[in-house]
Amino acid sequence: MKTLFKIPVLLLALMLVISCGDSKKEKEEEKLSPVEQAAVDGKKQAEMACESIKVDNEEGYDSEKMKKIMKDSQDFGDKMYSTYGKEGTASDEAKKAFEEALKVAMEDCMKSVY
């Protein structure tokens, strides 16, 4: 009889543990600070530029692939300029982090391409 009582209690306890495991605190910790996000954005901007350089240097040039890369790069670049550009909305610290990450990633790209 005691065993039959323990099974539902254990199942209930297990359900509570599983449902409480994904808390909002964990999700909040995953968010990046504005400066960290700026560095990520700078690296992404450089990666997009690097991709266009690589496609341009490929032996079998693919104009359709280049058009897609350029469109995506332009859209992302416009967004980044409005945020991290001279008149952008980001803080000076975030703008500096963006520029530094962009510079480092582009230097790495140039080393790998040439």
- Report the pLDDT value the prediction gives residue 41, as an integer from 0 to 100: 96
At 81, which amino acid appears? Y
Structural domain including 91 reads 31-113
In a domain, 14, yes or no: no
List pLDDT tens digits, range 39-90.
Answer: 999 999 999 999 988 888 887 778 888 889 899 999 999 999 999 999 999 9
- Confirm if 98 and 80 have CB atoms less than 8 A apart: yes
Query: Residue range 97-107: average pLDDT?
Result: 95
User: Could you write out the DSSP letters of every residue in 37-92?
Assistant: HHHHHHHHHHHHHHHHHHHHHSSS--HHHHHHHHHHHHHHHHHHHHHHSTT-SS-H
Q: How many CB atoms sit inside 10 A of residue 73's CB?
A: 16
In a domain, 48, yes or no: yes
In a domain, 36, yes or no: yes
Closest CA to 101 of 79, 82, 84: 84
- Report the pLDDT value the prediction gives residue 79, as an integer from 0 to 100: 93
The yes-or-no verdict on residue 27 having pLDDT over 60 is no
- Confirm if 50 and 113 have CB atoms less than 8 A apart: yes
Provide the mean pLDDT of the chain. 83
Number of structural domains the chain divides into: 1
In a domain, 74, yes or no: yes
pTM of the model: 0.69
In a domain, 6, yes or no: no
In a domain, 21, yes or no: no
